[in-house]
Structure 1
Amino acid sequence: MPGPTPYVSSVAIPLPDDEHIRSVLGNSYDPAKALNVVKMFAGTDDMCDAALGLVRAVFAAEDVDPRLRQAIILRAATILNVPYEWQANVPMSLNNGLSQADIDAIGTKGGIVPAAYALVCAATDELSGTGTLTDATLQRLRDTHGNTGARKLVLMIAWFNLLSLFLNGCRVPMETTDKIGGKRSPLE
């Protein structure tokens, strides 16, 4: 089965209570619709706005195919073994145009990734595994996406590494209801 393995730990940082989340996110907060990752971000208090700002930027990045972003997310979740990110982003990936076959291939370590996603998956594997990119991969990113596009993709890979470490470090609880629906972004 592709994707990460479930959490096996017994210690977690609990989600903040709804009153605290509302004090950080404002009166538009709806506990039935907000994803657990957003709730955990609210628990960072003064850091929440910056974290959500980067989420907004990543999901609205101009000239980045949302399917490439989703491939990065799923690959980082696979490489870093992040069950929450996988669970939340499989439906969002489908909503952004990836097929189930694409998702299965991206989520299989050592599997054959569809050509459209091979470069960003290779870059995600390298950056997530070694902390850098080979010259060949970086050059291919530049040749394929231009300098600005390559910068954006590298930033996205780095962001999803940071997010993955946050999710696993806090052990953000899996979603127990379908809050994703037709969402293409965690902030919709």
Structure 2
Amino acid sequence: MPRIPLLPEHPADPQAAALFDEVRQARGPDFPMPHLYRVLATAPAMFRGWLDFAWPLRQNAHTPRPLRELLILRGAQISGTAYEWAHHVPMALEAGVSQAQIDALADWQASALFDGPQRAVLQLADEVTRGPAASNATLEQLKQSGFDDAAVVELVLTASFYVCVGRFLQSMDIELEPGDDALSASMRTADAPPTANPPSGPVH
């Protein structure tokens, strides 16, 4: 069970209800509200800030969406965040990432399925997610792969934001939506370093 109770799909709080309506206007009237949003909306002002940051980061960035989805999936894999993985595998496939690349992410360094820019982005995901920061060598590798300064900012910000997402999901112990178990089971984390204090409940 999540550590903060899920709000209902149609909450009584008018601010939360208005934000859910906004999400449905963007995603469709029958869009099932994700568990993540049903926890975030417990603090409507914070949920407002989340939407105002997360959606433009996803939709208004100029770096290719497939690259950013690979970055997000790799970060989810390193942190063991199954909820994030389950949500972004369909997004990655829709953006044009191949299933073979997704399957190879756990050992991307040894895979021939990733080109130079993709490898630079995956190295960025590894360093930012594990912390404390991306190295000068990796930032230089991004620039040598054709990314200008604005693109580097987008990619580092995306990697950093999804570290926040993973920490929040795991801290709140937010459970997968029904039907996502198979997707979460496809996440390989064999190369992720062990954590000193593993979460007490299911890992999301």
- Is the pair's TM-score, using the shorter chain for normalization, greater than 0.5? yes
CA contact (8 A) 1:79 1:109 kept: no
| Residue of structure 1 aligned with 2:174, choices 172, 175, 180 | 172
Structure 2 CA distance for partners of 1:162 and 1:152, relative to 1, 3 Å: same
Deviant stretches of 4+, over 3 Å: 20-23, 29-32, 107-111
Q: What is the alpha-carbon distance in structure 2 between the residues aligned to residue 168 and residue 83 of structure 1?
A: 9
Please list the CA deviations of residues 102-124 of structure 1 after superposition, one character each: whole Å capped at 9, or x if unmatched: 11112447653612521111001
Q: Where in structure 1 are there 5+ consecutive unaligned residues? A: 1-9, 179-188
CA contact (8 A) 2:68 2:158 kept: yes
Q: After superposing the two structures, state which structure 1 stretch, 59-68 or 28-37, moved more.
A: 28-37
Q: What is the alpha-carbon distance in structure 1 between the residues aligned to residue 73 and residue 88 of structure 2?
A: 7
Structure 2 CA distance for partners of 1:177 and 1:32, relative to 1, 3 Å: farther
| Residue of structure 1 aligned with 2:164, choices 155, 162, 166 | 162
Q: After superposing the two structures, state which structure 1 stretch, 132-141 or 161-170, moved more.
A: 132-141
Please list the CA deviations of residues 83-118 of structure 1 after superposition, one character each: whole Å capped at 9, or x if unmatched: 101111111111111111111112447653612521
TM-score normalised over the length of structure 1: 0.79
CA contact (8 A) 2:108 2:114 kept: no
Report the secondary structure of 1:145's partner residue.
coil
CA contact (8 A) 1:74 1:86 kept: yes
Q: What is the alpha-carbon distance in structure 2 between the residues aligned to residue 60 and residue 53 of structure 1?
A: 11
User: 2:89 is matched with which residue?
Assistant: 90
Structure 2 CA distance for partners of 1:149 and 1:25, relative to 1, 3 Å: farther
User: 2:64 is matched with which residue?
Assistant: 65
CA drift at 1:11: 6.4
Q: What is the alpha-carbon distance in structure 2 between the residues aligned to residue 87 and residue 21 of structure 1?
A: 29
User: 1:14 is matched with which residue?
Assistant: 5
Structure 2 CA distance for partners of 1:111 and 1:169, relative to 1, 3 Å: farther
Report the count of equivalent residues.
169
Q: Where in structure 2 are there 5+ consecutive unaligned residues? A: 181-204
Please list the CA deviations of residues 157-177 of structure 1 after superposition, one character each: whole Å capped at 9, or x if unmatched: 000100111111111110114
Please tell me whether residue 52 in structure 1 is matched to residue 51 in structure 2: yes
Output the amino acid matched with 1:131: P
Q: After superposing the two structures, state which structure 1 stretch, 167-176 or 102-111, moved more.
A: 102-111
